Amino acid sequence: MEEEIYSLELNVAVRVVHMACLLCRSVQKGLLSTSTFDQFKSKDDNSPVTVADWSVQATVSWVLSETFGSQNISIVAEEDVQTLSKPESAGLLAMVVSTVNECLSKAPRFGLKSPAQALGSSEVLEAIGRCSAAGGPVGKHWVLDPVDGTLGFLRGRQYAVALALIDNAEVVIGVLGCPNYPDKKNWLVKHEQHYHVMPELPFSNPGMWEEGCILYTRRGSSEAWMQPLVHGDNKLVWPNSARLVRVSSIDDPALATFCEPVEEANSNHSFTAGLAQTVGLRKQPLRVHSMVKYAAIARGDAEIFMKFARAGYKEKIWDHAAGVLLVQEAGGVVTDAGGQPLDFSKGMYLEGLDRGVVACCGAKLHEKIISAVYASWDSSNL
């Protein structure tokens, strides 16, 4: 029954995320090739927001509203229109409007509706501003992070477009677009090393490896799927081939790869290092921007993801919803550090989160991590 209920929503979500990934890829290529600083701003918390963030949010909002009716949907998303609406941001807004219209012009190739005429500034701002719902325990809420891992995006490394649907506090659809994720299994580490040394090379020589994928799932399906991104207008054919993905079968800590955020401000690296030693993890941590860490678990490229944010930090639902469901339906386990499921019923924050987030490919590793957290927590400096 659930499959029938959410089939349209999943179909539209996968298609619009695919469009959004191509938009991001185009904007990122321009940023890296020109080193321009007029395509992004700093928000009040000093985190960056770019043309891509606003453009993806406007595009997804417009498509969802046209498909399901603007009066019938609730969208919870990261960006607002305050900065973009200021007079000094007129040039930035113009770039966003152009980017959105360029993306929406390709919508029919994905079986989606495009505007009868180009959207104007007010219509784009309206689409972005429409994503101001607060979520909550009742009803359906789309949850969007237009560019998760904006620092990774700006550095030419990993980032993601994340779209989920929450129905009565349960995540029922998860779609994660990863434009820079290598198609080949276990190439994420090589890819990150390459981007660190030569971030421009994948764009000038895209045949070096196939990169970019969409992962998607539906609650209760016990399946997670992955399809490659198309490369260039000449290959813009829908639908794309998809294949099942599954979490790793590794349960020996000595063989496991664990992921954590890149920035120390986003997770306590020293605490996770202590946990790794306690559990018997021998590999160096794979530090990756964005929800790509969840994708790595779901695809079987890594076995563990740990995040322990600084005291007082509140995790946002758009940073976890799509990734959590993907890992779960691919056979993995995701809880807070106390072993409890993440609670998506409290609005835009994961209220009541116990210490941090732990995602594992299986129950055996998960139990070891949770036990280590309890044993180590009192002596930590968190």
For 55, the enclosing helix (H) or strand (E) is helix 51-68
| Residue 38, marked binder | no
DSSP classification of residue 316: B
| Residue 200, marked binder | no
Lookup result for tokens 């490659």: 228
368 CA to centre of own chain? 27
The two three-digit tokens of residue 37, written as one number: 């600083």
Verify whether residue 53 is a known catalytic residue.
yes
| Residue 44, marked binder | no
Annotated active-site residue in 50, 59, 150, 217: 150
73 CA to centre of own chain? 21
Per residue, the 3-state secondary structure of 151-205, as one string, reads HHHHCCCCCEEEEEEEECCEEEEEEEEEEEEECCCCCHHHHHHHHHHCCCHHHHC
Other beta carbons within 10 Å of 138: 10
Verify whether residue 150 is a known catalytic residue.
yes
Handedness of CA 258, 28, 11, 127 (dihedral sign): positive
β-strand 286-287 against 258-260: which pairing, if any? parallel
**Under 8 Å CB-to-CB from 23, ≥6 apart: which residues?**
52, 55, 56, 59, 99, 102, 103
d(CA 129, CA 82): 9
d(CA 92, CA 97): 9
| Residue 78, marked binder | yes
Other beta carbons within 10 Å of 197: 7
d(CA 75, CA 83): 20
Give exposure, 300-317, as e/b (b: 16+ Cβ within 10 Å).
bbbbbbbbbbeeeeebbb
Annotated active-site residue in 50, 53, 217, 335: 53
d(CA 292, CA 176): 8
Indicate the length of the chain as a whole number.
Answer: 382
**Annotated binding residues for Mg(2+), as ranges?**
78, 145, 148, 319
Catalytic residues: 53, 150
